[in-house]
Amino acid sequence: MTLTFPLVSSEADVWRDFYVMAGGAAAALTGLILVAVSLHLREILGHPLHRDRAFTSLQGLVTLLLVAAIVLTPQSLVGAGIETIVLGIYWVVRYIRFVGLFRGVRSGRGAASRTTRVGMWAAEWVLWLAWVALFSVAGTLLVAADGRGFYLLALSTALGFVLIVWNAWVLLAEVAE
């Protein structure tokens, strides 16, 4: 007895143009962020939070590129779902590491400024965790051979672009201060 799984290609054909566009945009933005980081490399590498923001921006774009590849590769929905869940697990580990890093770095600014910054970081973390949650739920739906997972994956892709561009902008603004 052989097990057969429905192929992504039949479900993903509707999303092909979206993921070709998303993959191209992720690749182009990766190049732009690499150039921006290289122009400020000493400042970015000299501060652990800046270094992590730069790495997160690049890794986020690579993740979006991988999501596009997952959807555009002919494979089973189960395989696509498992790959998506693995990406989500990677990001959970990254967040845990970052929270430890953030707690270990002290700001040289006043208490009011620190409170505002912590509030901004907390808001960002909530959005990043929402991004990971969307990945996880989308992956779970795909593992269950439910094509509705593509809708959540598209939503997570759009949210990912917003978060990554925000992250890169904040990085450049912090380095310029």
Asked if pLDDT for residue 167 goes beyond 80, the answer is: yes
Name the H helices within the chain.
8-12, 16-39, 41-45, 48-72, 77-104, 111-143, 149-176
* Residue 6 pLDDT grade (very low, low, confident, very high; cuts 50, 70, 90): low
- Residue 19 near residue 151 (C-beta atoms within 8 A): no
Determine the pLDDT at residue 102: 66
- State the pTM of this model: 0.83
* Residue 1 pLDDT grade (very low, low, confident, very high; cuts 50, 70, 90): low
Where in the chain are the domains?
Answer: 11-176
- Residue 171 near residue 56 (C-beta atoms within 8 A): no
